[in-house]
Structure formats: C-alpha cells, structure tokens
Structure 1
C-alpha cells in the first residue's frame, strides 16, 4: 500500500508534470494568461471600435477606466470566496462566467453596450488573485515567492501577447471570408470561447491543495483550516500591513497598467516615433514579464533566507523606490536612446516590485491568504484607476488649452500643438507618479512581523506535517 501523502512542493521543477503542484502551476498560469489576453484583447482594435461605434474621446477614455474599475470589486470579493470554496471552483466559474462579456463585446452595436461589456470584462482581472492563492497553497515557504511571481508574470504576458495574437486571429478569420470591418468582433468571440474551455480544464485537471480539494478534505474529517483557523474578514481589514501592501501594489502593478496603456501615444508625441515602432517598444515592455516578475519573487525568497521576513520587506522597499526613481528620470529625458534605457529599467523594476510584493503577501496572515491576496490585488486596479484619471485630466486640459491658444492655425500646426501639450502634461504626470512611488517605497518599511511570524516562515513544514499525519490516519483506517 502506498501511504505517501502529497505535500507542498519545495522546488519549481517545471517539467515534473506528475507533481500536482507543478501541474496546477501550469494550468493556473495559462488560465491567467488567457484572462489577461481577453481582458485587454480589444486594445489592438480600438481604432476600429472608435470608427464602427462612433466613440467620442471621452467614451474611449471611459472604456479604459471602466475596464480596470470592475476588477477592483471582483478582486475584493474573489479572495474571500477562495478562502471559503477553494481556488479550483472559483477559477472555474470565473473563466466560464467571464467568457460571457468577452463574447458579447464582439456583438455590441452601441457605445453604451461597449462600455458595459468593458466594465464586466474587467471582472476576469480577478484571476490574478486566484492564481496567487492557488500557487501559495501549492508551494512551500522557501519557493512560494518565486512560484507566485513566475505564475503571475507569465499570466501578465497575456496583456502584451494580445497585441500580436488578436490581430493574427483577425487575419485568420478574414482569410476565411470575413470582412475586415467585422474581424475584431470574431476575434473577441474566439477569445471568449477559449476562456470558457479553460474553465472546464481547470475544473477537471486541478485540485485546491496537494492533499485534495477543500470539500473532500472537510468531508473526510480533516478541517482544511486546521493549520489556519477561521478568521473574520473584518479582522483581516484591521491589519495595517495589508493596506500598506495595497498601496505598494497600487504603486507597482497599477502604475504598470497605466504606463502600458499611455506609453504608445507618449512615445509618438514626445519622440516623434511611428505608431508601429512605439507599439513594438511597449510590447517589449510587456514581454519582460517572462523573467522580470520572477526575479522579484526570487530575490524576495533569497532575502527571506538571509534576513527572514524582514528581509523580504527590505527588498520590496528597495526595488519599489528604484522603480519610482526610474519613472521620474524617464519623464525628464528628451533623447529617445536615453529614454529607452530608463524605460527598460523602469519596466524591470516595476515588474520585480510586483513579484516582491507577493513574496510578502503569503506571510501576512496564513489564516486568510485569499482575503489578503484579494485586497492587495485590488490595490493594483485602484492605482491604475487613479493614475489614469490623473493623466487623462492633465492631458485633456493641456490639449484644450493648446486648441484655444492656436485657434485659426492650420490643421497641421494645431495637431503639433496638441501633441506637444499632451506630451508635456503626461511627462509631468509621470514625474508626479514617480515621486509618489518613492514615498510608498519608504512607507513599505513600516511592515513589521512578530517573532512568532518569523519562526513560522522557517519551520512551517511542521504545520503541513500535522495535516499530513491526519490524512495518513484516515487513509490507514479506510
């Protein structure tokens, strides 16, 4: 009789697909990729959408803001649901239900319908929280930071890969006889169908923990919360450290989203780049998620081994401060070569800061990992909303002023004045945001851990052994 009970993986051996932790890692990363692919799938087609639906500039900006607003509420809710029902069921239903607005986005006929779809499509951004919760449940403390950062980073690639993938899908359907003007609609429908199918894969090929699903463990007489007693949501909200991490993630992932969404126009207006060139630079920025976020989690784990939980916080504070400095410096550059260098450095540091954040999150409250992940994850979208609103306000005001001051000039001179005004406004916005990020970087140092928390970071295998012994007893008696 084989009495071996699966436990959390202590390594990230990506080729060991027989290991339930590794298998779950791959499925959750791919699911997250598809969610981000569909979430931002409409971005490459916005010129077509504006033309087909007659969107005004305000409606276009509002669609961007709505897409990140819906995610805030979804992330706050999904973390608590993960603690109660487990990440497997939560991800399954998120993928299946989230596919509906993605498909409907390809069928809209009015600006209002489009805005509503963008709002509800944003809900699939909650996939990030489930990804982090599921990875935290599958991997041991010594590797959890690296695993969390890698799964999230590879999932984030979906937000960049759609710049290539969605036009390719559109080209493919055109080859089958679909009109060019309708191709973006078919691409969104296909992306939604793939999300739906991933929901089925998630249900049948993953489980909540290495030991089994929440429901099965509870029915077997093993309280899944034996190593983590129930904690009320209000008790989680009262932990100041969670709100500091909320701000940290707003200053990292939130700013990445905003910079990613505004950088195309900024590069064109500031350095007079062609749209294709600017788009390729931004795409390379997104593709750095392949390794940059992983580096943040990796160094978080390394500093954790050297200095304990305090070491994780120290690295997080450092890399977030570097991120702010890089953004401030980039905002001041007038040379495309120097600007590109600092943009890459900003990209590297912001994604490392995201990985470092979730090398700290699993240790804040092991009794409510889902709730903590949900709150911190929501911070990213709050940051994106506020930063986008700031840049929109500054840019819109500057452009209106430029139009008034150059009234009567030729169309070419008027457009040049608008571009210059927008560039200066966004540059000032980036600088202000960079300084705020630096302040939050120093604020992160206020995160403290008790001596008991520090001890749990090292020998937490004892708690896993307790659960394993209980499972072993049931297996022997059955």
Structure 2
C-alpha cells in the first residue's frame, strides 16, 4: 500500500535556505535550467560568425533554428514519461551529461551538415524545462507550488536572454588569451558544454527526487512509487484527458508566442521604429530578462486564486491573463509611436510570462499520477506554438519582401532596402495581430478546463496539511 508525500513538502519559498532538500533542489534545478537554456541559445550571438565561417545559406540558417525547436518537441514528450518512471534526479543528470556533448561538438563542426545535426540534438536540452517543473512539483506543497514552478522556470527563460550578454564576454576573454577572433565562438560553445556536463555531476550528488528520498529508495522501502504497469496507465490517462490538450494549446499561446516574438522583435523594432540594431537588441534583452520576476507573478497569482476559489480559481486567472496577453499583442501590432510601442511591449511581456507561470500553477493538479507525462506534453506545446507562429511570420514576411523587391526593380539599392524593410514591418505587424486574436480565443478555450468535486476536496486537504487553513476556498 502506497503512502502520500505531502507533509514533508515545503510550504514556502525561503530563498536564503540552502540546506533543506526542497530549497536546495529548487536552487540547483533553477541553475541547471538556466545553464540548459543558456547553452541551447548560446549560438545566437555568434550566428553572423557561423554563417561566414561555415558558409551557411539563408535556408540553412533558418533550418538550424527550426531543427533546434523541433528536437525539443520530441524530447519534452519523452522526458516527462521518464521522470514519472525513474525520477527527475536521474533524468536531469543524464540530460545534462548527454546534452553537453552536442554543445561541445557544435564548437568543432567543419561543415553546414554537421552544424545542422548538432543544432538538432542541442535542442534536446530544452526538455530540461519539463524536469524542472516535475522536480519542483514534487518538492513544494499545493499552496506554493505554482510560485515555485514559475520562479524556477523563469530562471531558464532568463538564461536564453542572458547569453546575449555573457557569451560575447566569454568570447572576448578567450580572444584576450590569444585565440583568433574567428575561432572565439567555437571555444565559447565548448566552455558552455563543459559547464553543463559539470552541472550534471552536481545534480546527481546534491539533489533527491522527493523530500523523503529518491524513487529507488522509496520503492525499496515499500512506499509510494509507481510500478511499470501503473506508469503506463498514468501516461495513457494523460493522453486521453482533454484538459491536458487544452493546456498544450494554452502553452503554445504563451511560451510559444514568447519565443517567436523574442526571435523576431529585433528586426521588427528596427524596421518599424528605425532603431539601431544595438538599441533594438537591448530592448529585446530586457524583454527576456523580465522572466526573472514576471513568470513568478503568474504562479503567485495562480496560487492566490487557488486559495480563494479552489482549483477553479487557478483556471479563471489563467483565462484572464491569456486574454490580457492577446489584447496587448494586438494593440502593440497597431502602434507606430516608439514610446507607446515600448509601453505595450512591456505590458505584453509581463502578461505572456505571467500566463506561462499560471499554466504551470494548474498542471500539477490535473493528474498527480502522471505529473511528468503531463508536464512533458504541455511543455512540448510551447515549442509547437513557436514553430507554427514562426512559420506564419516567415511566410508573410517572405512574400511581402519579394513583392517589394519586384515592385522596385531597377531602383537603387537603398530604395529597394527601404521598401523591403517597410514591407517586412507591415507583414510582421499583421502577423502579430493575427496571433494576438488567436491567443485571446485560446484564453476563452481555457475556461473549459474543469475539476471534479473529489479533486477540489483533495486540494483543500493539501491546503490543510500545508498549514493553510485560513485560505480554504469560499465555495468549499
């Protein structure tokens, strides 16, 4: 007979605590996630150098981006199931150790084909998000799990933006040691890969699967641990649960859109507001770094609404913040004033990242027997959304730019460039508008997520066990 793991879970986030199992795991998994995203997008600041060094065509450059995202989709689907079976500690350890290999090899490639293959496998470390969410879900009680999930996830997203500052600094230090500037990007990637490998060793020795111990130890003691057959049932239940697929689409509408907007915003700001590349890049970097607190806010408010209105309250907040995200993106897409544009870009950034945190304040309550599987499916939805949104924007911009070039055939190079830039800005603007409308509609779809009376009662019991008797939902 299995026992539950509730009483030993942390009921608050004490950021100064580095000794308890839940908080030590929180810090290690957050740092590991940061490093994974840092390595995943580590090549971005060096793409001009890679294009020159390897002779990449524009198609090959775009394919490298698509491959990196595509690899992550399959890895996230798989890793969630593995977490349910073997535990997040071993899964993260092996992901870091094996994921470091293609990062290091990417610094050693000599041909475009080798580079594309490495980009595909580097994308697998994007599955680190799923393990992070599973691990924090196992470590924190229901009153704080949304905030914990959102905060740890925010670190990873921040890693994807921080590399724009840190990777060039690493390259500069390498050049200062006498390495040729043309090879600096290669050494930088090798260093990033080695750091990930070392983090895998740290993860193995300094974390546990649950506050009570590792899955293997718990199973040996005859306590709560799912056998193979039950794991399979849990995974099948996750696949059949309509709520999982709604959250799959929801995460596509927040994290997927954030990735796409982050990847296209540099050019859009330059083309629309005539900004310098450095200025546009700094604005986009600020957008990415907001994850440090914005995503946490989403998880925090998800937890607060959960205390006030039960599991339904978490869903209602998710619906509201998705609707705000859609409105902000639609509004931003119509603005031509730089000041107003920045204001609504910040508002969009805040809402999209809060929506991500709110999504994973709901995920842990869908089916506790398959938290890993559900996290994997929902997490994969984010990358699917990024892929589809990027394809939409790319197709609209490519057609518009070609039409502008044809219409100005015979004009000076400067005239053609300006026409092409204006066409691209208009096309991407219309694409943002369409995506914003779709996000708003998906927000309404999230309203269909329901919980049974038994689920609500279980959530209340967890609140009582975590010492939150004063926050029992009013409709209990």
**Equivalent residues of 2:71, 2:124 under 8 A apart:** yes
Match of 1:380 in 2: 382
- CA distance in 1 between counterparts of 2:219 and 2:236 reads 24
Offset from partner CA, 1:68-115 (integer Å, 9 cap, x none): 110000000000000000000000000000001111111111111111
Match of 2:448 in 1: 446
Offset from partner CA, 1:365-403 (integer Å, 9 cap, x none): 011000000000000000000001111111111111111
Match of 2:109 in 1: 108
**Equivalent residues of 2:248, 2:378 under 8 A apart:** yes
TM-score, scaled to structure 1: 0.94
Q: Secondary structure at the match of 2:171?
A: helix
Give the 5 Å matches for 1:127-166: 127-166=128-167
Q: Secondary structure at the match of 2:369?
A: coil
Match of 2:351 in 1: 349
Shift of residue 58, structure 1, vs aligned partner: 1.7
Q: Secondary structure at the match of 1:41?
A: coil
Match of 1:10 in 2: 11
Mean CA deviation greater in 415-424 or 166-175: 415-424
The unaligned stretches of length 5 or more in structure 2 are 1-5, 468-476
- CA distance in 1 between counterparts of 2:50 and 2:408 reads 30
Offset from partner CA, 1:243-296 (integer Å, 9 cap, x none): 000000000000000000010011111111000000000000001011000000
Shift of residue 461, structure 1, vs aligned partner: 7.0
**Equivalent residues of 1:249, 1:376 under 8 A apart:** yes
Give the 5 Å matches for 1:265-276: 265-276=267-278
Change in Cα spacing, 1:229 to 1:459, as seen in structure 2 (3 Å) is farther
**Equivalent residues of 2:80, 2:376 under 8 A apart:** yes
Q: Of 280, 284, 291, which aligns to 1:289? A: 291
Q: Secondary structure at the match of 1:291?
A: helix
Match of 1:309 in 2: 311
Match of 1:432 in 2: 434
**Equivalent residues of 2:130, 2:376 under 8 A apart:** yes
**Equivalent residues of 1:251, 1:380 under 8 A apart:** yes
Q: Secondary structure at the match of 1:108?
A: coil
Offset from partner CA, 1:181-228 (integer Å, 9 cap, x none): 1101111110000000000000000000000000011112223249x9
How much is the aligned-residue C-alpha RMSD, in angstroms?
Answer: 1.6
Shift of residue 434, structure 1, vs aligned partner: 0.5
1:172 aligns with 2:168: no
Match of 2:68 in 1: 67
- CA distance in 1 between counterparts of 2:234 and 2:366 reads 15
TM-score, scaled to structure 2: 0.95
**Equivalent residues of 1:300, 1:356 under 8 A apart:** yes
Q: How many residues align?
A: 460
**Equivalent residues of 1:6, 1:210 under 8 A apart:** no
**Equivalent residues of 1:7, 1:464 under 8 A apart:** no
Give the 5 Å matches for 1:75-474: 75-225=76-226, 230=231, 231-460=233-462
- CA distance in 1 between counterparts of 2:266 and 2:64 reads 17
Match of 2:474 in 1: none
